[in-house]
Structure 1
C-alpha cells in the first residue's frame, strides 16, 4: 500500500489551467510532485502558448482544450482519461466566470443572461464533469472544486459570484451525499485572495489583497502552492474519511467575519 500522502499510481484531470499563476497550475504541480499522473484542460485556444510550457513541467502531461460550455470538448477530456488509464481517481475543477458588467454591478441589477452564464460555467459545469467522471471511478475517487468566502459572507465587489459560489458549495454537499456510497468524495476548497488573472476582474482587488494580508491571523497571503498542497492531501488516502466540506486555505482570514 502506498504511503498515505503519496499519490503514486493515482490518475486525475485538472481543468482551468490558464498560466503559471493560476490555481489550477498550483494544484497540478502539487499533485504531480506527489506522484500523480495528469491530464490537463485549458479553456481557450489563445491560452495554448501559455499552458504548453506548463504541461512540459508536469511530466509532459496531455493538454486538451476544454471550454466547459462545449459538451463535446468536455466529454473528450474524460474520454482521453478513459483511453489513457481506463479509470480516474480525481478531478480538479478550477473554472469560474462572470460577465464584467454583472460582476461589477449590484446583484439586484444583474442580467438574466449574465447570471445564468456565471452559474453554468462556475457551478453546473462541476456537476457535468462529475457525471462524466463517475463511471471512471469504479474504485472510488475525489472531486474538488474552488470556492471563495464570498459564498458565505458579503464581500465588497464580489457581486453575483457570491450567490454562484454559494450554489457551488451547496452542490458539493449534495454530490457528496449522492456519490459517497460509491466511494467518491466531493470537496470545495475556499482559498484566500490570490493574484490570478481571473481574480483581477474583481474591482479594487489590490485593496482586497492588502487587507487580506493584514487581517489574516497568519499575516500573509496564501499561494497557489498552499492551495495545491491542500488539494493533494484531499485526494490522498489520508483524507479518505473526509467529504462534503468546504476547506478554507486562507491563513484563517474567514474567522474574522
Structure 2
C-alpha cells in the first residue's frame, strides 16, 4: 500500500474520519496545539489553522503539508472583531465547492493566550490596567469571540476544547495575571457548555502540566521546576505532547460524547497532591 493509500485509509476509518475542525494558537513545532493537530490529522481529521504573526503563517505554510490533505490557513487576530466575524465564513466556505450544502465545523481547538512578559515579571499587584485588559481579551474573550463567529457553522455534535493550566486555581510562581485569566477562561467554558449543550455542542478544558514550549523559554528556573514537578507527580515523570494530544483526541471525538463543562488534567497527577513525603509535618 502506498503512502497516499495509507493516508486515504486513515481518513476513512480514523476516530475523526469525515470530521473538520479549526485549530487556533499554533506558533511552531513546540506549540501544544501543533502536537494536538498532528494527532487529530492521524485520526482522519480535516484541519484548518489560524495565525496572527507573519512568522507563524510562514511556518504553517511549510509544516501543514506533512499532515496530508489540504489544510486551510487563514490569518486571524482574535482581538479584532472584524477578523473574528469573517473567520467562520471563510473557513466554512473553504470546502464549499461542489458541496450540496454548507459544510459544517465539527471541532475547535482554542490554544490562544497572551500575557506581557514585563507585566508578568512585576507580579499581580503591579499589573497595569492595560496589561490586565490585554491579557483577558487575548486569553479569555478570544474563546467567546470564536464561539460567536463559528456557532452558526457548528455541526450537531461539535466539540470545543480550550487549554488551561494549574495556575487557574493555585498560585504558580511567575504566572500572575495569566493565572487570573485562566480561571476566567475555565469559568467561561462552563457557561458556554451550559449554553451550547442544548444544541449538541460540548465545551471542555484541558489543563496541561508544564512542557517545553516557546512560552516557557526564558522563564527563571524552568528546568529545575520541571524536574521537581516530575519528582512530585504520582506518575513520577513529566508529561509530553503525546499525553496531551491523546486526551485532546478523546475530548474532541465521540469517545467523550457525554462529557462537557469539564476541566481535564494532564499533568501526571500533580494537581491531586496536597503534601509530599518529607514535607514538614508529614507523618
Q: Could you state the TM-score of these two structures normalised by the residue count of structure 1?
A: 0.94
Alignment counterpart, residue 7 of structure 1, candidates 1, 16, 19:
16
The Cα shift of 1:226 comes to 1.6
The Cα shift of 1:17 comes to 0.9
Q: Which residue of 2 aligns with 1:183?
A: 200
Kept in 2, the 8 Å contact 1:5–1:34? The answer is yes
Q: CA 1:43/1:202 → structure 2, altered by over 3 Å: closer, same or farther? A: farther
The Cα shift of 1:140 comes to 2.8
**Structure 2 runs not aligned, ≥5 long:** 1-10, 96-102, 275-283
Instruction: Tell me the matched-pair count.
Output: 256
Alignment counterpart, residue 240 of structure 2, candidates 220, 223, 231:
223
Q: Is 1:69 equivalent to 2:79 in the alignment?
A: yes
1:195-206 to structure 2, matched below 5 A, reads: 195-200=212-217, 202-206=219-223
Q: Which moved more, 1:88-97 or 1:66-75?
A: 66-75
**Structure 1 runs not aligned, ≥5 long:** none
Offset from partner CA, 1:38-79 (integer Å, 9 cap, x none) = 001122112233222221112241222222112333333322
The Cα shift of 1:224 comes to 1.9
Q: Is 1:43 equivalent to 2:60 in the alignment?
A: no
Kept in 1, the 8 Å contact 2:16–2:40? The answer is yes
Alignment counterpart, residue 249 of structure 2, candidates 217, 232, 241:
232
1:156-175 to structure 2, matched below 5 A, reads: 156-175=173-192
Q: Could you state the TM-score of these two structures normalised by the residue count of structure 2?
A: 0.86
Kept in 1, the 8 Å contact 2:49–2:74? The answer is yes
Root-mean-square deviation (CA), in Å? 1.9
Alignment counterpart, residue 108 of structure 2, candidates 87, 91, 100:
91
Larger C-alpha radius of gyration, 1 or 2? Answer: 2
SS, match of residue 164 in structure 1: helix
CA distance in 2, matches of 1:3, 1:186: 26
Offset from partner CA, 1:122-165 (integer Å, 9 cap, x none) = 11100100111211124131111100001011111111111110
SS, match of residue 78 in structure 2: coil
